[in-house]
Amino acid sequence: MLDAPVMQAATAESLVHVKARTESPPGYSRVPVPAEKVSWATAFEAYAPQSYTAPQVLQNDLTLRPGGWADEADPVKTVARRGPLRSVTGRPIQLDASGHPLNPAGRTGIRGRGLLGKWGPNFAADPIVTRLAPLNGELEMLAIRRKDNGHWAIPGGMVDFGEDVSATLAREFEEETGVALDLSDARLVYLGYVDDPRNTDHAWIESTVKHKHLDPVMASRIAPLAGDDAAAVQWLPLTPENLARLHASHGDFVRRALASAAAGSGDVGTPSPDSNESPTPRTR
């Protein structure tokens, strides 16, 4: 069962996005959405965004192609096939008049699915693994540099069809960093919406984020090596500057992990005060 603080985080603080309406991966052309017009509850008569769904998404329609990983082009057919769409927290997803799922964080300036395969929530898993640096005791996270935008990130990824999210956490961690690690005791720190640059009005990423802190012996036993999906891997010092530059909502996720550890066992050492501040509703 989910605990109350996590549910609260997933349904309130996280539902404000900035990157999902200001950053545009290749192929995306977003119309501007002023902060005061983000909410679907606010009238925005002039709002007429383009629709974009990447060719590789359309080519991987799982109802047409064996081994495909994307929903069909018509979201009405998707709901008929999959049943009502639900968020990772179990909350029902709202549909617009034409049957398109509505991004729970509001307008993004673009319709369609962009680079995302699923209508509505696309589920991801993010394993945060930390240690204290052997030389200076600084708190660090094993991070990867993403190939798509060059940003440092948690070594996470998408949940495969039918895959248990705990399996995704370990699989993605190993694929991205080359380290096979038992994450069964990792602590759940966040469940919900991700402010990802690929999000659209009708398709977005939601994640399960877990944290594990390695003691010096465990940390010394692993030898990270960047996998195919990563341009680089390294122990990244968790300074405020580095947290602010992380991909998507990953800086917020790490802050939540550190706050949660500090409130619980406090077994991650003492990060700098700024990197251990309480999560804010939206920082990017």
How many residues does this entry show for the chain? 284
- Nearest distance from C-beta of residue 185 to ligand RP5, angstroms: 21
Nearer to ligand RP5, 132 or 249 (CB): 249
Nearer to ligand RP5, 67 or 84 (CB): 67
The conformation of residue 66, written as its DSSP 8-state character, comes to T
Give whichever of 179 and 194 is closer to ligand RP5, judged by the CB atom.
Answer: 194
Tell me the closest approach of the beta carbon of residue 37 to ligand RP5, in angstroms: 24
CA-CA distance, 249 to 126, in Å (whole number)? 11
How far apart, in whole angstroms, are the C-alpha atoms of residue 185 and residue 188?
9
Rounded Cα distance, 196 and 20, in Å:
5
Of residues 132 and 210, the one with the C-beta less far from ligand RP5: 210
| Number of neighbours of residue 2 by Cβ within 10 angstroms | 13
Minimum distance, C-beta of residue 234 to ligand RP5, in the bound complex (Å)? 17
Q: How far apart are CA 250 and CA 6, in angstroms?
A: 16
Both structure tokens of 230 = 């990563």
Cα distances (angstroms) measured from residue 185 to each of 73, 166, 236:
39, 10, 22
**Nearer Cβ to ligand RP5 (149/272):** 149
Q: Identify the DSSP state of 157.
A: E
Nearer to ligand RP5, 104 or 156 (CB): 156
Tell me the residue number closest to ligand RP5, measured at CB: 156
Beta bridge partners of 86: 92
Residues interacting with ligand RP5, by CB under 6 A?
A: 124, 126, 153-154, 156-158, 194, 196, 205, 207, 248
CB of residue 30 to ligand RP5, shortest distance in Å: 17
User: Closest distance between ligand RP5 and the C-beta of residue 124, in Å?
Assistant: 4
- From the CB of 8, what's the least distance to ligand RP5, in Å? 20
